[in-house]
């Protein structure tokens, strides 16, 4: 999209330099991709001349020898020229000897095929005024002979090429960009005055028949007696500045209004409309049309066309055909201005690979209010440049599909969202500068009427965005962010994540990062209930693979393992930190999590044979990570009847809001997911609020005893199903009670587990060891035995038998 600085100045009194405008546009969300100069730079010895005569060059068939008058006081100059588009009496630009044209091309007296030439007659391209180099630039306004060309074309222009986001269709015209710049620089916008054009009598066509829902609003004007000619210089230069090629005065007006306002228009030669009627309909199967670029297109029922009673004339919103184009013979014009559904035009444009300025704008939603207004703007210009008169009333089908909308907002909301104590005057000033109408509400705040040319502004948050965009982020003072859901680098969650990442990375784990969305099968595989699966489902998922929010990190790690294996990548250890969710009837909880996988059977070529990881490898890793949450002790219990974990080879624990699992994943579950071999896993899930702040904790030295420990072993017969952790916990409590304050009972350890011959059915033997130590002396055998006897008595009283 090209924007002309001179064109902008038709609507706003812009005093800013081109550089200042180029800096302002990105601040408004209009990215400047390139800046270029258009027009004729200041040049000396370049004047207006008049062709007095032309004779054939004696030595060249394609050259002419002209006598050209370049000054009222001097004799005509002889100039050799190869162009053919001029005639005697035409006024043209002449570069005299000493003139330096763009490209550092210096003109001097020379001989061309033996004939002297005292200058050069120039084309528009040679002067930097356009891309036309096929012939001379004919000065149709006939300026005075000898007038410096810089006085004839004083408006050297700066053209900005901007990239627009899809929601800013209002800036697909010079006026839309001028409106934003006016708000930014605090200027008034002066829109062109448009006449009403109320006419009676009969128009050039009998009516309009619309039979498709893709065209809710369609208008047609009739203009009789136009004269098709070349457009005046100012109009051609405006079009060339924004990259369009001038054609004739009527067609150029439609393109001018398109580039000025963003409203596409189409002009028909009324004599070429069969049946005197325009029909807006969907195309029929295999219907064909030859567009203005002389390419034939095969249409189908998805394409909308403007047709007469015999044939399609236009691919609606995209491109016209040769069948009804305005050419040099046209005297009566039918002018179309309409609003087509963006999706219809976008689809047709893509299917046929026809991308035009018109389709680009319709696909981004033009302003319905501009259909009538800018149609009448085009009529003003056609009557001014081509003559004629409006014949009959405007034929209208339907009505504008949308109008202005009202959004309620107050200053407190604006301040809270943008984090800035803006005054009410500042807020209202910005809204008003954008063309919004602000009215006070009795209940407080404002009712803001947003014009139809801004369809993307339809919520209070959009108004806040507009305020920040125009007021400028540079004017909002920097301050610390205060928002829920954001974590400082020294917050407990951030500290925990960093420590967990460091710990696992140091143990040769590779970190993964997955979407927090998954499919229903992953939830079922990980053991989620139907109620939880329902509570974790999205109302409007993007795809079936992203229909739920995850309840565990392990399924994502399994997917990463399978994917890497399928591509020949060897991965043995993976981990991830992130958020998971748990739900039920009417509730949803967000939790922190760390999970890891260890591929037990992944082949490894190395000279050193290593011991394969097992359940205790996974358990010890979970213990280490859990310690980072502030948990000191975990009471592990065996996992049974799990479809996700292997019975007898996995365990779980819970303490102070921290839930952990570790062990071997279910072999059947892995096979169902096409994962071969054994896979160990561990997962830690915790409430973010339960994390203990370890950033300010200080480690204190605890003196250790210089005296030896006295150890004792005890074998207890317990129920086969009783977890060892329960027995150990009771044993430790009994030991502490037996030792009292005289000495300490150090950590209890399980050194043996036995079941089978010599034990009653349903029983097992646990061998426990304990060490006693005093801080100030070597313990005597008697006091150790006394304490140990108390422990045995306590364990017997608890129902355990001592194994002899």
Q: Are 730 and 718 in contact (CB under 8 A)?
A: no
> Cα dist. 90→68, 71, 128, 764 in Å?
10, 15, 20, 117
Q: Which of 617, 758, 760, 745 is nearest to 679 (CA)?
A: 617
The C-alpha atoms of residue 448 and residue 432 are separated, in whole angstroms, by 9
Q: Is 95 helix (H, G, I), strand (E, B) or coil?
A: strand
Within 10 angstroms of residue 634's Cβ, the number of other Cβ atoms is 23
The C-alpha atoms of residue 189 and residue 261 are separated, in whole angstroms, by 13
Beta bridge partners of 684: 594, 660
Q: Are 382 and 194 in contact (CB under 8 A)?
A: no
Q: What is the CA radius of gyration of the chain?
A: 42
The C-alpha atoms of residue 371 and residue 349 are separated, in whole angstroms, by 21
Q: Which of 586, 592, 591, 581 is nearest to 531 (CA)?
A: 586
465 is in an annotated binding site: yes
Q: Which of 228, 227, 321 is nearest to 273 (CA)?
A: 321
Q: Which of 225, 338, 242 is nearest to 38 (CA)?
A: 242
> Cα dist. 659→119, 164, 548, 551, 622 in Å?
91, 50, 22, 13, 10
The C-alpha atoms of residue 219 and residue 399 are separated, in whole angstroms, by 9
Q: Which of 398, 403, 396, 327 is nearest to 367 (CA)?
A: 403
Neighbour order of strands in the sheet with 645-655: 510-511, 573-584, 587-599, 679-686, 658-665, 645-655, 637-638
466 is in an annotated binding site: yes
The C-alpha atoms of residue 457 and residue 448 are separated, in whole angstroms, by 11
Annotated binding site: 462, 465-466
Annotated binding site for Mg(2+): 462, 465-466
């Amino acid at each position: 999209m090209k924007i002309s600085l001179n064109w902008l100045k038709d609507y706003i009194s812009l005093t800013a330099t081109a550089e200042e405008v180029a800096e302002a546009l990105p601040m408004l969300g209009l990215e400047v991709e390139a800046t270029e100069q258009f027009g004729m730079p200041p040049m000396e010895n370049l004047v207006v001349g008049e062709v007095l005569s032309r004779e054939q060059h004696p030595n060249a068939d394609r050259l002419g020898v002209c006598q050209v008058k370049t000054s009222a006081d001097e004799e005509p100059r002889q100039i050799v020229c190869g162009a053919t588009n001029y005639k005697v009496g035409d006024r043209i630009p002449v570069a005299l000897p000493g003139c330096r044209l763009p490209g550092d091309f210096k003109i001097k007296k020379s001989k061309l095929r033996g004939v002297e030439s005292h200058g050069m007659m120039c084309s528009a391209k040679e002067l930097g005024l356009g891309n036309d180099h096929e012939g001379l630039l004919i000065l149709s306004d006939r300026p005075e002979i000898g007038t410096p060309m810089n006085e004839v074309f004083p408006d050297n222009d700066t053209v900005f090429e901007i990239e627009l986001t899809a929601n800013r269709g209002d800036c697909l015209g010079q006026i839309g960009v001028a409106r934003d710049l006016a708000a930014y620089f605090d200027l008034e916008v002066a829109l062109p005055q448009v006449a009403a054009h109320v006419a009676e009598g009969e128009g050039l066509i009998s009516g309009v028949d619309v039979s498709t829902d893709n065209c809710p609003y369609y208008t047609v004007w009739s203009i009789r007696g136009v004269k098709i000619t070349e457009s005046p210089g100012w109009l051609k230069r405006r079009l060339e500045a924004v990259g369009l090629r001038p054609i004739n005065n009527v067609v150029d007006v439609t393109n001018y209004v398109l580039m000025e306002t963003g409203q596409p228009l189409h002009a028909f030669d009324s004599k070429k409309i069969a049946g005197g009627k325009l029909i807006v309909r969907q195309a029929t199967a295999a219907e064909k049309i030859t567009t203005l670029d002389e390419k034939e297109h095969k249409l189908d029922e998805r394409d909308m066309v403007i047709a007469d009673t015999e044939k399609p004339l236009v691919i609606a919103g995209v491109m016209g055909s040769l069948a009804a184009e305005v050419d040099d013979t046209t005297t009566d014009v039918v002018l179309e201005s309409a609003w087509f559904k963006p999706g219809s035009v976008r689809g047709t444009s893509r299917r046929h690979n026809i991308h035009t300025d018109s389709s680009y704008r319709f696909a981004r939603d033009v302003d319905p209010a501009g259909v009538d207004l800018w149609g009448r703007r085009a009529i003003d210009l056609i009557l001014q440049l081509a003559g004629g008169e409006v014949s009959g009333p405007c034929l209208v089908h339907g009505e504008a599909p949308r109008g202005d909308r009202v959004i309620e907002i107050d200053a407190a909301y604006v301040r809270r969202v943008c984090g800035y104590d803006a005054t009410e005057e500042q807020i209202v000033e910005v809204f008003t500068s954008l063309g919004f109408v602000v009215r006070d509400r009795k209940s407080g705040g404002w009712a803001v009427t947003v014009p139809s040319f801004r369809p993307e502004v339809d919520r209070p948050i959009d108004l806040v965005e507009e305020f920040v965009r125009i007021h400028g982020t540079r004017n909002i003072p920097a301050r610390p962010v205060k928002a829920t859901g954001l974590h400082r680098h020294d917050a407990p969650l951030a500290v925990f994540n960093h420590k967990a990442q460091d710990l696992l990375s140091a143990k040769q784990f590779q970190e993964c990062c997955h979407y927090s969305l998954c499919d229903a099968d992953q939830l079922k595989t990980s053991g989620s209930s139907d109620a939880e699966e329902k509570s974790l489902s999205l109302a409007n998922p993007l795809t079936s693979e992203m229909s739920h929010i995850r309840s565990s990190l392990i399924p994502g790690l399994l997917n990463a393992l399978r994917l890497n294996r399928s591509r020949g990548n060897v991965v043995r250890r993976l981990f991830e930190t992130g958020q998971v969710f748990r739900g039920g009837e009417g509730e949803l909880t967000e939790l922190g999590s760390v999970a890891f996988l260890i591929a037990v059977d992944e082949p490894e070529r190395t000279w050193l044979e290593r011991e394969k990881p097992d359940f205790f490898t996974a358990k010890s890793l979970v213990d280490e990570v859990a310690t980072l949450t502030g948990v000191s002790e975990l009471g592990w219990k065996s996992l049974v009847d799990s479809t996700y974990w292997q019975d007898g080879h996995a365990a779980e624990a819970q303490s102070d809001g921290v839930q952990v699992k570790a062990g071997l994943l279910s072999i059947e579950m892995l096979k169902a997911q096409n994962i071969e071999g054994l896979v160990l896993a561990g997962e830690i899930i915790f409430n973010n609020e339960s994390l203990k702040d370890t950033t300010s904790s200080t480690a204190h030295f605890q003196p250790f005893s210089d005296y030896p420990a006295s150890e004792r072993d005890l074998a207890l017969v317990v129920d086969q199903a009783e977890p060892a952790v329960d027995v150990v916990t009771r044993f430790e409590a009994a030991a502490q009670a037996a030792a009292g304050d005289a000495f300490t009972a150090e950590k209890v350890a399980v050194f043996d587990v036995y079941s089978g011959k010599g034990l009653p059915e349903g029983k097992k033997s646990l061998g426990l060891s304990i060490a006693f130590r005093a801080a100030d002396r070597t313990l005597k055998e008697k006091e150790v035995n006394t304490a140990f006897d108390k422990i045995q008595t306590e364990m017997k009283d608890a129902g355990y038998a001592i194994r002899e």
